Chain A
Amino acid sequence: MYVAVKGGEGAIDNAHRLLAHERRGDRAVPEISLAQISEQLSLGVDRVMVEGSLYDRELASLAIKQARGDLIEAIFLLRAFRATLPRFGNSEPVDTGAMQIRRRISSTFKDIPGGQILGPTFDYTHRLLDPALAEDSTPEAPATAEASSERMPRVTDILGRDGLIESSPAADAGAPVGDLTREPLSFPADRDLRLQNLARGDEGFLLSLAYSSQRGYGRNHPFAGEIRLGSVEVEFFAEDAGFAVPLGPITLTECQMVNQFKGSATEAPCFTRGYGLAFGHSERKAMSMALVDRALRARELDEEVAAPAQDEEFVMSHSDNVQATGFVEHLKLPHYVDFQSELGLLRKLRQEFGAADDAALQEAAE
């Protein structure tokens, strides 16, 4: 039981004033702007949007500034802000096949229609600190080449044509789409709810689970069938206008994992798949999500559920870093009454133990 405490208002006010002072840092150093955060710490902004589950670069940048760069605190701020706005409705499902591609790679096929496009990536860098960035620097203008109008089908679509990979679960127009922001989690959870949970889940937690599945805790033999980054148009059916209105583009990262086969007496073996989708340029997140999505399909694919990454209740109940940090960090709040009762109990137990000991000594002496 948590018993509230009162008082300390003055100290709390002063602590927050001190926090604002510390946030600003050395006042001789220019203050950072939201545009600087959004433009130059863009992957941090993306992560806050993904796990804050709110696409708004400016708000995510503000949250990062306010949280002094503590991304989980920033995610918390964004989630709290989100709760203040009404929801107009749901978008039409975005079409990642029609993505304006900025990066698109496959580790399964060398020659994919549309080609392998590296885009802006840390891959193949040497991970050596660059002292040039310690000073003001102006990078070279990007190289250009003639843009191709070749279509870029998803790699899974290509495999699907030959029946080599399972198809995605078909859309059932009548079926409601699960929404864990509206209804509390219950288990077993369908794949739509699992993907929503993973999409807003903590990147570090999902990364570790994904890694554990690769190391043998629920192994499922993955290949990165395709990773694509780019922008897609969001459309919203506006009842007042009477048609689906374009809202503008958002940047997404999509990962299609291709995993080892399943088959049965009636079905020829084919590759299975795991899916990851995330706001912004969030490759590690999308890959981890796809690996964990596949691991969580163990029950559906008649695999033994033996590892943490395959246990949906374990994964979904612990993936949310706002919930996790809330419960871990609430331990900082005063628990004086709780602790007093524990202390009282302990003293009583020790007294009884002492009395029993005395009695035993007495007995031994006699």
Chain B
Amino acid sequence: MAIMTTTETLQRRRRNAMAVLARSDAAAIAERLAAIATPSCADLRQPENGLVMVRGRIGGDGAAFNLGEATVSRAAVRLASGEVGFGYALGRDLDKARAIALCDAMLQSADHVELVEHQVLAPLRARIEANITSQAEQTAATKVDFYTLVRGEG
């Protein structure tokens, strides 16, 4: 049970990290990675581009249907210490996919996890959250209160 919980926690951590990295520019990720010591790694899967069919749901909440495809890049790396990381992101940036895979592998290594969390993910997350907040505030300013007018003598 304890092992199960650890696996779940690690998986959640990896998913959260991937969500942050997938939303970040390749240049921003590279900049953060350049500032820390990254372990040597080998490509387990050469970075490649492909497609994912994006699905929606009928009525928003019903059965699935195929909406259309999106470009996706992916990569997989293995650290010298054995951890295997996967990188997936919308778009066709192979370097970005590889950088995500490297971060994912480092997250699974006790030697690197803190460094990635604090030096890579935290600043990227802060930037994303600032963007989301700024956009939400701009959106909120366009909220309206329509009122209906009764026409004639009622």
Q: List residues of A whose CB falls within 8 A of some B CB.
A: 49-50, 53-56, 58-59, 82, 85-94, 96-97, 100-103, 110, 115-120, 142-148, 154, 156-157, 167-172, 175, 177-181, 191-193, 195-196, 199-200, 233-234, 236, 238, 240-241, 243-250, 252, 254, 256, 273, 275, 277, 279
In the complex, are the beta carbons of B51 and A142 less than 8 A apart?
A: no
**Interface majority SS (helix, strand, loop, mixed), chain A:** mixed
Q: How many A-B residue pairs have CB under 8 A?
A: 238
Q: Using Cβ atoms and an 8 Å threshold, which residues of chain A touch B63?
A: 168-172, 175, 177, 191-192
**Chain B residue at minimum C-beta to C-beta distance from A121:** B142
In the complex, are the beta carbons of B91 and A56 less than 8 A apart?
A: yes
Q: Which 8 residue pairs across A and B have the least CB separation, nearest first?
A: A168-B62, A168-B59, A147-B136, A55-B70, A248-B22, A192-B65, A144-B137, A53-B68
Complex Cα distance, B67 from A59, in Å, reads 18
In the complex, are the beta carbons of B18 and A234 less than 8 A apart?
A: no
Q: List residues of B whose CB falls within 8 A of some A CB.
A: 11, 14-15, 18-19, 22-23, 45, 48-72, 74, 76, 86, 88-92, 104, 132-148
Task: Give min CB distance, A6 to chain B, whole Å.
Answer: 36
In the complex, are the beta carbons of B71 and A55 less than 8 A apart?
A: yes
Complex Cα distance, B140 from A145, in Å, reads 5
Complex Cα distance, B48 from A215, in Å, reads 50
In the complex, are the beta carbons of B59 and A147 less than 8 A apart?
A: no
In the complex, are the beta carbons of B138 and A144 less than 8 A apart?
A: yes
Task: Give min CB distance, B109 to chain A, whole Å.
Answer: 16
**Chain B residue at minimum C-beta to C-beta distance from A166:** B59
Q: Using Cβ atoms and an 8 Å threshold, which residues of chain A touch B64?
A: 93, 171, 177, 192
Q: Using Cβ atoms and an 8 Å threshold, which residues of chain A touch B55?
A: 90-94, 177
Q: Using Cβ atoms and an 8 Å threshold, which residues of chain A touch B66?
A: 90, 177-181, 192, 196, 199
